[in-house]
Amino acid sequence: MKNSAKKVLLLSVVMALVFAGTLFASGSQAAGGSNTHAFVFKSTGNPYGERQMSGFETGIKEQGGTSILRAPDLPTAEAQIQMVDQLIAQKVASICIVGNDFDALQPVLTKAKNAGIKVYSLDSSVNPASRLTHVNQADSEKIGVTLVEAAYDLAGGSGEIAILSATSQASNQNLWIDYMKKELAKPKYSGLNLVKIAYGDDLRDKSVSETEGLLLSYPNLKVIIAPTTVGIAAAGKVITDRGLVGKVKLTGLGLPSEMAEYIDNGACPYMYLWNPIDVGYLGAYVATGLTSGKITGKEGEKFSAGRLGEYTIVKAPDGGTEVLLGPPFKFEPANINDWKSVY
């Protein structure tokens, strides 16, 4: 009887694991395979990530493949490590990861590579030793420079500014901030004083709290730069609710659908971004390019990305390689209504 009970229990556990593996799968195929491609975002409930996953799913589907879309509840490396381990067991063909940590994911991603899975990062990169290449939204230096130029303009050339970032481990945020600091060191920006870099962890409530903290600690603050879609929307709400429109100005990277209200009311005179749907879509073609052998991730390789056209793999600032979607786009009162219903 005991052996029979153990067999029943074991069967129940196996069936539960199989069922759990299907909950996050997109398409008709939950198990792995030569044409099954996984996308792991930072965390759930992020509209930017949802649009990236949508673009990825579309790109994989139009190439006849199956996509598995995953995101942990919290933006931690530990949660992503568990998901990657599950995907290795499912024997997917490729894993695209939006890293929550530059280095911490390296052991599990190396494990995936050793299992024959094509591993690459997107949006927020991982260590070059952990990936074949990286899909980037735009040139990282250009993003940093553009946001500093915006702060300089909005501050009238002088005054206190602050940065509201995502997590302190986010490689894309940290790289942009590094370029911001380098740009701020130039004589042109000597009148600007970067008083603090705050971290909202890409969580709306914490981003609200961090914004309120900045406003309380620095009553003369002129500009907040938020290079995160969650952070900029949270800051826009705080500035609006506190009646500080016109006194404290906001810029950064935001979704038009979430920021139209704050661009219209002047809390955020203008901001920048790229189309996250296109970022995910480009990632889908990198996935199939790597698994088919059309590309290996080396600098100089070219490939076609469906409706987006031709791309070339270039050297990345971190020593690895990357694919650049294109330059950031400026959203302002004159065009925000054209885009707010798109993404």
Range of the domain at 184: 140-273
Residue 155 maps to a domain: yes
Pair 100, 167: CB distance under 8 Å: yes
pLDDT exceeds 60 at position 25: no
Q: Which of 10-24, 114-128, 162-176 has the lowest mean pLDDT?
A: 10-24
Confidence of residue 32 (pLDDT cuts 50, 70, 90): low
Is residue 29 over pLDDT 90? Answer: no
Mark whether 38 and 116 lie in a shared domain: yes
The answer on 170 and 79 residing in a single domain is no
Residue reference for tokens 């568990």: 82
As a whole number, mean pLDDT of residues 58-64 equals 98
* Claim to verify: residue 314 and residue 288 sit in the same structural domain: yes
Q: How confident is the model at residue 8 (pLDDT cuts 50, 70, 90)?
A: very low
Domain boundary among 273, 307, 338: 273
**Considering the domain boundaries, does residue 23 fall inside one?**
no
Say yes or no to pLDDT of 53 above 70. yes
Token couple for 264 = 């219209």
Rg (CA), the chain: 21
Give the number of domains in the chain.
2
Using one digit for the tens of pLDDT, what is the confidence trace for 118-141?
999 999 999 999 999 999 999 999
Q: Based on the fold, state whether residues 86 and 165 are members of the same structural domain.
A: no
Task: Answer whether residue 2 is part of any domain.
Answer: no
Is residue 48 located within the same domain as residue 105?
yes
Q: Which of 1-10, 28-37, 164-173, 193-202 has the lowest mean pLDDT?
A: 1-10
In CATH, what number is assigned to the domain containing residue 111? Answer: 3.40.50.2300
The pLDDT, as a whole number, for residue 186 is 98
Instruction: Give the DSSP H or E segment for 152.
Output: helix 140-154
Residue 262 pLDDT grade (very low, low, confident, very high; cuts 50, 70, 90) = very high
Q: What is the mean pLDDT of the chain?
A: 91
Residues 214 and 248 both lie in one domain = yes
Q: How confident is the model at residue 241 (pLDDT cuts 50, 70, 90)?
A: very high
Beta-carbon contacts of residue 180 (< 8 Å; ≥ 6 apart): 144, 145, 147, 148, 163, 194, 225
Q: Indicate whether 64 and 106 sit together in one domain.
A: yes
CA–CA separation, 341 and 343 (whole Å): 6
What is the percent of the chain where pLDDT is above 70?
A: 90
Q: What is the pTM of this model?
A: 0.84
Question: How would residue 311 be classed by pLDDT, with cut points 50, 70 and 90?
Answer: very high
Q: What is the pLDDT of residues 67-103, one digit of tens each?
A: 999 999 999 999 999 999 999 999 999 999 999 999 9
**Pair 287, 262 in one domain:** no
215 assigned to some structural domain: yes
Residues 129 and 149 placed together within one structural domain of the fold? no
For residues 324-332, average pLDDT: 95
Q: Residue 3 falls within a domain, yes or no?
A: no
Residue 322 main-chain phi, psi, to 5 deg: -155, 165
Measured distance between the N- and C-terminal CA atoms of the chain, rounded to whole angstroms: 59
